[in-house]
Structure 1
Amino acid sequence: MEFINRVSGLALAVGLGFAGGAAQAEVPQVVTDIPPVHSLVARVMQGVGEPVLMVPPGASPHGYSLKPSEGRALSKAEIVVMVGGRLSPWLDEAADSLAPEAARVVLLGEETTIRYPFRAGHVHAHGDEDGHEEHAKEEHDHEEHAKEEHDHEEHAKEEHDHEEHAKEEHDHEEHAKEEHDHEEHAKDEHDHEEHAADLLQTDPHAWLDPENGKAWLMDVAEALAEADSENAETYRTNARAGVAEIDAAVARITPALADVKDKRFVVFHDSYQYFERRFGLSPALAIRLGDAVQPGPRRISELRAEVSAANITCAFTEPQFNAQLIDTVFENTTVRIATLDPLGVDVTPGPGLYPAVIEGIGTAIAGCLGADTE
């Protein structure tokens, strides 16, 4: 299990309720960001509980404003499952404020996740003989005694110096340890900041690679199993079943996509590289280079020239965007217009949404591009 805040929050994800004198673990309150992630979590929790969806179908995840009811749901969360990166930074901030103790599962940060960067375009006496000798002896004894005293003092001083030195050595070691601990903490902070910075440079549309969807099912299952050991096996069994369902959806669309892998197409915005790479498709041309970048006249002119040069016959819009832009770009052309639904806007939220999204995108691409050969 990877990434920030999971350990601190998971301890709170286990509550104890008492019914008939027996302790039972409560199902963790789980909040998710977008419908595809909600679907994966719902599949893992099927038969045990239901996660809460923050970004409703049809809403953009990039700049969504929480409703009061959604804010209350987030404040009760024990686990927050989100894509992370640049997809929904507002949710990170809202969770910091409303659910600071909740475990955070940032899917882009999981070790199992396949990640791609955004595509381009996008620190130190005298007397008689006898008397003299006695006096001399006494003097000698006195000197010997003084010497012994001196030696004793010197020894004591050396002992003191040794103790002082030992203390200094100890203090030095303590200081060195503190310096080491500080450096380790600074390194951890640096590594965390580096990791967070890396995620900000990562294309966040990673759910469109079904291999990530499968990996995330297992990651979520382990996070829930750690929080709710009583239902751990159910979570893991559900995750394995979800993996099989994704595999089945991929198997249904792979042959048709293989037939059109050399044909390019146009998409509304550049968010499909994960899907293209997984199925070996040619890179799509994007009307919008970023999620919030509106194309100007120059971009539209460039796009029309690229479409003409590449003999592109298909362009795809998305349900949450205004289709008039694509109509404007391709008016008076023979380019066919179809729809891709990467967020599952037209699919009922729940366990079946994720495989339906993957299959729906594949079917739409294969159907539009394949029409050239019919």
Structure 2
Amino acid sequence: MPAFTIPALAIPALLFAGTMRAADAPVVVTSIKPIHSLVSAIMQGVGEPELIVDGAASPHTYNLKPSNARAMQDAKVIFWVGPGLEAFLEKPLQALGRNASIAALDDAPGLVKLPFREGGAFEPHDDAPEHESASGQHDEADAAHDADPGHASDHDHDHDHDTFDTHLWLDPMNAKAMAAMITTTLVAADPANALTYQGNAKALDDKLDALDTEIKDMVAPVKDKPFIVFHDAYQYFEHRYGIRVTGSITVSPETIPGAERVSEIHRKVGELGATCVFAEPQFEPRLVNVVIEGTRAKSGVLDPEAATLKAGPDLYFNLMRGIANSMKDCLSSA
């Protein structure tokens, strides 16, 4: 049988068609790895979103790069959590994202929002929540504000009142709510690829449900064992799975605690019977060793912002399984 060959005249046409397909994909920019992962999953088969906070960088301490600024200028859609987490993006978005649809995912309908904790083993916040109830729900004015369908593209959105914990993605049900907003935003910006986005979103939704069940089973044997974390980033994971975070070393990872605070937590480890104290890969893990010195507590590492993970559609699942596995391993052996 003769070998199949492509006519020479057809090659330029095929190359042109491939170029056109790539050009048709909208430029989409995302702020942090967990959000990039959700957007990547929904955009599979259309294009790949760009990521601002890459590698082991943290949104708490990030400085915008020139390449990030160029990407934001070219973007058709920009996804971020909101200024409560990525404060460094607030002004650049106003200056560079004028031509983009900007979606603050902390406005996604259906999110569970938890107020900051303080008191006891949790260091006080300067901006303690006043407008939210104990359940973390917004008041009526905020609820009406969130219901505004044009809100996702509002460049001038005032988040000064937002005093909830912004690590929203650490509950898979919140990830589902954010994925729904991501899908709606992409479909509006790029209706030609609506069916692909919607099909991918349905597959992602099913995977998130399966992940939720998997994590519940994984942490169930250790969920009643108390532990302390480097900073209070795990409320949503704790709330979803009934685990016992009993304190944090610092309230804000960009602020290294003083000797008095470290001594206080050292005492709390003994008083609370904490079985593990968890560091984070990019923030002063040596402090954890000081805190557990002379106690029976063990140390572990949690990575709530995926600093050590490779970006991509699987990252979110690796992130959540990694947290569950780290907790299970340390708490089981304690």
TM-score by length of 2: 0.80
Deviations 1:3-42 (A, max 9, x none): xxxxxxxxxxxxxxx97xx999922211111100000000
CA distance in 2, matches of 1:202, 1:217: 20
Residue aligning to 1:322? 284
Q: Mean Cα displacement is larger for which, 43-52 or 92-101?
A: 92-101
CA–CA separation in structure 2 for the residues paired with 1:38 and 1:338: 26
The alignment partner of 1:87 has SS state of coil
Q: Does 1:196 align with 2:159?
A: yes
1:223 counterpart = 2:221: no
Equivalent pair of 1:85/1:202 in contact (CA under 8 Å):
no
Please name the residue that 1:156 is paired with: none
Q: Which has the higher contact order (CA 8 A, sep 6+)?
A: 1
Cα distance in 2 for partners of 1:213, 1:57 equals: 21
Q: CA deviation at 1:48?
A: 0.6
Secondary structure, counterpart of 1:284 in structure 2 = strand
Contact 1:270 1:285 in 2 (8 A): yes
Structure 1, unaligned stretches of length 5 or more? 1-17, 123-187
Question: Using a 3 Å threshold, how does the CA distance of structure 1 residues 74 and 24 change in structure 2: closer, same or farther?
Answer: closer
Would the aligned equivalents of 2:80 and 2:105 in 1 still touch at CA under 8 Å?
yes
Deviations 1:121-142 (A, max 9, x none): 22xxxxxxxxxxxxxxxxxxxx
Partner in structure 1 of residue 99 of structure 2: 101
Q: Distance in 2 between matches of 1:74 and 1:279?
A: 37
Matches within 5 A, 1:85-96: 85-96=83-94
The root-mean-square deviation of aligned C-alpha atoms, in Å, is 2.4
Does the Cα contact within 8 Å between 2:176 and 2:205 map onto a contact in 1? yes
Whether the 8 Å contact between 1:25 and 1:230 is mirrored in structure 2 is no
How far did 1:112 drift?
Answer: 2.2
Q: Tell me how far apart the structure 2 counterparts of residues 263 and 251 of structure 1 sit (CA, whole Å).
A: 20
Closer, same or farther in 2 for the Cα pair 1:198/1:360, shift >3 Å? same
Work out whether 1:45 is the aligned partner of 2:7.
no
Specify which of 92, 95, 110 is matched with residue 112 of structure 1. Answer: 110
What residue identity is the alignment partner of 1:44?
Answer: I
- Name the amino acid aligned to 2:103: V
Identity %: 40
Partner of 1:212: 174
4+ residue segments displaced more than 6 Å:
22-25, 191-194
2:246/2:272 contact within 8 Å kept: no
Q: Does 1:350 align with 2:288?
A: no
1:307 aligns with 2:269: yes
1:195 offset after TM fit, Å?
5.8
CA distance in structure 2 between the partners assigned to 1:194 and 1:61 by the alignment: 20
Deviation (angstroms), 1:71: 1.4
Which structure has greater helix proportion?
1
Aligned to 1:360: 322
AA in 2 matched with 1:336 = K
Does the residue aligned with 1:337 lie in a helix, a strand or coil?
strand
Q: How does 1:217-256 map to 2 (within 5 A)?
A: 217-256=179-218
Give matches, 1:72-87, under 5 Å.
72-87=70-85
Partner of 1:266: 228
What is the CA–CA distance in structure 2 between the aligned matches of 1:116 and 1:36, rounded to whole Å?
19
Which aligned pairs between 1:287-306 and structure 2 lie closer than 5 A? 287-306=249-268
